[in-house]
Amino acid sequence: MPQNHQGSPLLACPDEVLLLIIRQLTPHDLSTICRVSKELRRVAEPSLYAEIRLDWDPSLRHPIGPLLRTVVHRPELARATHRVILSKSFEWSSYRAQTLKILVSTVDLEAPVSFVASAPVSHRNVWLEALRDGAVDAFVAVFLCHTPNLTHLVIEGEYFRESRFLGFVLRSAIGRSPESGLRVGFEHLESVKLEPSYDIYRARNNTADVLPVFYLPSIRHIYAAIDNPASFAWPLSGEPPSPPHLQSLDLRYIREPFLGPLLSVAAHLRSLHWQWLYTPDIQDEFHTPSIDLTQVAAALLNVGDILEDLTLTAIGDTGGDPDYPTLTMRGSLRPLSRFGRLKRLAVPFALLMGFVRDFSQRLQDFLPSSLEYLCITDHLYVYDQYEWEDDDILFFIQPWLETYQASTPHLRGVTLFFVELSGYNQNCKNEFLRLCARVGVPGKITDQLADVHVF
């Protein structure tokens, strides 16, 4: 065994063994290891930078300043970064009225300012001004320009309140950008999450800043809160994306008219979660208290032959008013019954059966024969237009389950999700579980949101 390793058996280990040990350590422990010796730092430092996770705390000197200083001067560490998570850290109510600026020292400002000052971009002066003003988006954009080997990217909460400069970088990454001469590559990026905390003060509209993600060559999973544009247009005019590996989409904010264009390019999609949202705080011509199920069904038909997992959720609030607004609904989700590969479905009871009590319908008429798992939720139950009682849901479930082999012969489980479990009649709970046991299909009643997202 080699000697003279400052008395440490650890230093005598081959790099391969050291890496096996190092990869089990927490970021804090990795940081400590890097300060032990130059040799350990050489091996451990790339693992320390493999995942960058920054939480938001406006009261402190922001860590993105020292981070940028490091990656600009040591690009090999930036190339070692595969995962970036820029995350919210506290609740909406505690920050919604704050001016979101980060505290960065003069020394930490030098590296990003130097980079932008020499960048071949037409918006250089605007970017420099934003950096000096402490704009979060401006710093995040500089950082992403230095991480060419990213596989996973999460930007959420306060970090995604504004997206202007992020949009510049993403549009540069897809090959052609009228605003930027940057050569940014995200060839390895597989998973992206872009979601602001709900905040009426945040900048809008982010659509043009998010859509470039659909062009990334390795993209597999997209989770994005996308605002409703005045008119929908893909970033490359006349060239919609065709992502060859895109398997799952989780779409928020975007409303019915634009769901179709997004799904029309997802030729290999397997999993979809779309969240219908209405709040009076968001005002645009498409954000109305009307649910157009005809448009929803037409959009879903773009992926009806390939989709295996579908979750639909519906959320509304009062926008600070004492009463919920009046919701209307038109159309039907009956085309779901034609989805030939759909195995898992989570859907609000109101979106299947409407708001008005109508016992002439049958649950099985909405379900595809390929279905294996069904989750029915009580989303939108707080609205006055919701007429259904607890017993009514069981009224539809019972005849379907008693003959499920005829309509859904592959069924393997049924879940009922209720926002307020205490409001659901205990007799109905017991009857539902007895029914499931009698027909041999596992049943569950829950108020855990994770159980709704069935894929």
Q: How many C-beta atoms lie closer than 10 Å to residue 444's C-beta?
A: 15
List of residues 6+ apart from 63 with CB closer than 8 A: 54
For residues 415 and 164, give the distance between their C-alpha atoms in angstroms, rounded to a whole number.
41
Following CA atoms 257, 260, 261, 264 in sequence, which dihedral angle do they give, to the nearest 10 degrees?
A: 180
For residues 451 and 448, give the distance between their C-alpha atoms in angstroms, rounded to a whole number.
6
* Contact yes or no for 138/130 (Cβ under 8 A): yes
Q: Which two tokens stand for residue 281?
A: 């705080």
Q: What is the pLDDT of residues 303-349, one digit of tens each?
A: 999 999 999 999 888 766 778 889 999 999 999 999 999 999 999 99
pLDDT surpasses 90 at 406? yes
What are φ and ψ of residue 329, in 5° steps? -145, 140
Q: What is the distance, to the nearest Å, from the Cα of residue 303 to the centroid of all Cα atoms in its chain?
A: 19
Distances (CA, A) of 24 to 53, 83, 173, 225, 383: 17, 16, 33, 34, 50
What are φ and ψ of residue 54, in 5° steps? -125, 125
What mean pLDDT do residues 167-192 have? Answer: 82
Q: What is the DSSP string of 197-255?
A: PS-TTS----HHHHGGGGG-TT--EEEEE-PPPSS---SSTT-----TT--EEEEES--
Q: Which residue has the higher pLDDT, 34 or 378?
A: 378
Q: How many C-beta atoms lie closer than 10 Å to residue 393's C-beta?
A: 21
* Contact yes or no for 166/141 (Cβ under 8 A): yes
Q: How many C-beta atoms lie closer than 10 Å to residue 433's C-beta?
A: 15
pLDDT at 5: 46
Distances (CA, A) of 393 to 78, 203, 327, 376, 429: 54, 41, 20, 9, 11
Q: What is the pLDDT of residues 109-155, one digit of tens each?
A: 999 999 999 988 888 999 999 999 999 899 999 999 999 999 999 99
**Percent of the chain predicted with pLDDT > 70:** 82
pLDDT at 423: 58
pLDDT at 224: 96
pLDDT surpasses 90 at 294? yes
pLDDT at 99: 52
For residues 194 and 53, give the distance between their C-alpha atoms in angstroms, rounded to a whole number.
15
Q: What is the DSSP string of 288-341?
A: -SEEEHHHHHHHHGGGTTT--EEEEEEEE--TT-SSPPPPEEES--GGGGG-TT
Q: Which two tokens stand for residue 47?
A: 């693992």
Q: What is the pLDDT of residues 379-404, one digit of tens each?
A: 998 899 999 987 899 999 999 999 99
- H/E stretch holding 117 reads helix 106-117
* Contact yes or no for 313/377 (Cβ under 8 A): yes
Q: What is the pLDDT of residues 201-238, one digit of tens each?
A: 566 789 999 999 999 999 999 999 999 998 999 998 88
pLDDT surpasses 60 at 156? yes
For residues 449 and 438, give the distance between their C-alpha atoms in angstroms, rounded to a whole number.
27
Give the model's confidence band at 295: pLDDT under 50 very low, under 70 low, under 90 confident, else very high: very high
| Start-end of H helices in 325-425 | 349-353, 390-402, 404-407
pLDDT at 198: 67
